[in-house]
Chain A
């Protein structure tokens, strides 16, 4: 509880729409203690000091209400308008004990409440699933970006899990309320919503929601520091901001209170940026590993393991090459490409190239995804034809793919958690896979 000035009291408070009578009761008690509700903003209630008095409060949901008409109607029945929250939750008070309740039709009241409760999780879940599919249009399914695809799936899993959990609480609360409504005596309207003194519970929920949001953002930043500002991640972040913004500013959008919207969206984006920045700083040690490249040595290292495949082993003497290593969690990919003038494996009339990728991963999911990417253009018959599992090879299996124009070959071999993928030009006599095997697994 903070005191803004000596005549005001500011309370952080959140409640579910199943708790409106409890909320009204809370406001009544505050006024009996000398604090009258002045306004509601997000999770903040502002009270002003007043003479303690007995008064009735009423909080009701009206989704289609035009403020002036509705307030005028209630005023004529002795109700004083206090404030409206999100353009749909109206709060009134009256000193007239005989003033008729604002909502006398309990069924309509329950229906309005139920719609409001389910609106929020419903919108978020629908938007997530729609956006997830749309995002695939923008994601470049690149052979080298296998990590990125996995990360996107992971991020969505984390985010969806987060929101499933937070909305799960709301849905459970909704069903508990529905059961109580159906069992209660219809005359005892005030007992339909039975939660009392829920402040502590709501605070725990809020703290937990904040923590899980922070953790999910932490994972987001930790797992993809290189791609932090890249397309799909940026889109995901923008989507989150959009979902949060529209949900919390629905009322203001309806009322076209653009200044309020601008102010709130600034705070929202700023808060998210601060969290992201904090965790980017703390957890972003992966970025340094990604920037390493080996320009002199042709050896790749992963933890303490050397993978000493060199182009010389493969009979290639090269002057220019690209060499990149990407590490993500427990997975490593070493990309190595010769882009010109390599002796020993090419047709003299064509531009030559040779490349190999070594994927080391404990994740069978990533390994299978990698394989699917290579084989995506072939049907099952062709894949069987290419597959070599003869006992003569020491790999678990390997594929050799000869392309139609016979200008280059592509193949990959798998053993345990290691996959070696090689592309090479024609006129090559070296059995690359056996060379690779000896180098990786040989003594």
Chain B
């Protein structure tokens, strides 16, 4: 089983989810942060320190892989394990929305 940084929850946090989404294409540091901002319409901002820590953990857990090891342009891309994790999380979130839809619409 893949160990996630949030062991107790076994779910992805919002920044983690967006970073994995962003890394469905090959990107490097600053591009990842910009892509996360774009996907979330500016709602989610990840600091360089948080991103760095996250990338390190994702890589050591096999969710992403480094594709370029030069100092200035170290890029990453999601792995198959990472895609699987992303899909699980997406399905989980979709289930949450679906489960709540009827009730939330009834409340209007």
Residues of chain A at the chain B interface (Cβ within 8 Å)? 60, 62, 64-65, 68-70, 72-74, 76-77, 79, 100-105, 107-108, 112
Complex interface: chain B residues within 8 A of A74 (CB):
48-49
Bound-state Cα–Cα, A62 to B49, Å: 8
Tell me if A62 and B71 are in contact (CB < 8 A).
no
Assess whether A108 is in contact with B53, with CB atoms less than 8 Å apart: yes
Neighbour of B47 across the interface among A64, A68, A100, CB < 8 A:
A100
Say whether A105 contacts B50, CB under 8 Å. yes
Q: Is the CB of A69 within 8 A of B5?
A: no
Across the A-B interface, the 7 shortest Cβ-Cβ residue pairs: A102-B49, A104-B47, A103-B49, A73-B48, A76-B30, A105-B50, A74-B48
A-B contact pairs, 22 of them (CB 8 A): A60-B49, A62-B53, A65-B52, A69-B52, A69-B71, A70-B49, A72-B29, A72-B71, A73-B52, A74-B48, A74-B49, A76-B30, A77-B47, A77-B48, A100-B46, A100-B47, A101-B47, A102-B47, A103-B53, A104-B45, A104-B49, A112-B53
Minimal Cβ-Cβ distance residue in A for B56: A64
**Interface residues of chain B: helix, strand, loop or mixed (majority):** helix
Closest Cβ neighbor of A101 among chain B residues: B47
Contacts of A73 in B (CB 8 A): 29-30, 48, 51-52
Output the residue of B5, B46, B47, B49 with the most chain A CB within 10 A. B49
Residue from A73, A74, A100, A108 whose CB has the most chain B CB atoms within 10 Å: A73
Which residues of B lie under 8 Å from residue A112 when comparing CB positions? 53
User: Per a CB cutoff under 8 Å, which of B13, B48, B54 touches A102?
Assistant: B48
The A-contacting residues of B in range 29-50, CB under 8 angstroms, are: 29-30, 33, 45-50
Known: A70-B48, A104-B46, A107-B6. 5 other contacts (CB 8 A): A69-B71, A70-B49, A73-B30, A103-B53, A105-B46
**At the interface, yes or no: B74 with Cβ under 8 Å from chain A?**
yes
**B99 in the interface (beta carbon within 8 A):** no
Give the distance in Å from the alpha carbon of A267 to the alpha carbon of B17 in the complex: 49
* CB-defined contacts of A72 to chain B, threshold 8 Å: 29, 71-72
Minimum CB–CB distance from A115 to chain B (whole Å) comes to 12
B15 interface residue, CB < 8 Å from A?
Answer: yes
Would A62 and B52 count as touching, CB distance under 8 A?
A: yes
- B71 to A, closest residue via Cβ: A68
Residue contact A70 to B72, C-beta cutoff 8 Å: no
CB distance from B105 to the nearest CB of A (A): 30
CB distance from A82 to the nearest CB of B (A): 14
Q: Which residues of the partner chain B approach A64 to less than 8 Å between Cβ atoms?
A: 53, 56
Closest to A103 in B: B49
Q: Which residues of B contact A62 (CB under 8 A)?
A: 49, 52-53
Q: How far is the CA of A68 from the CA of B46 in the complex (A)?
A: 19
User: In the complex the two chains form, what is the Cα distance from A77 to B48 in whole Å?
Assistant: 7
* Least distance between A53 CB and chain B CB atoms (Å): 23
Interface string of B67-89 (1 = CB under 8 A from A): 00001101000000000000000
B74: nearest residue on chain A (CB-CB)?
Answer: A69
State the CA gap A107–B49 with chains docked (Å): 13
Residues in A whose Cβ lies below 8 Å from that of B53: 62, 64, 103, 105, 108, 112
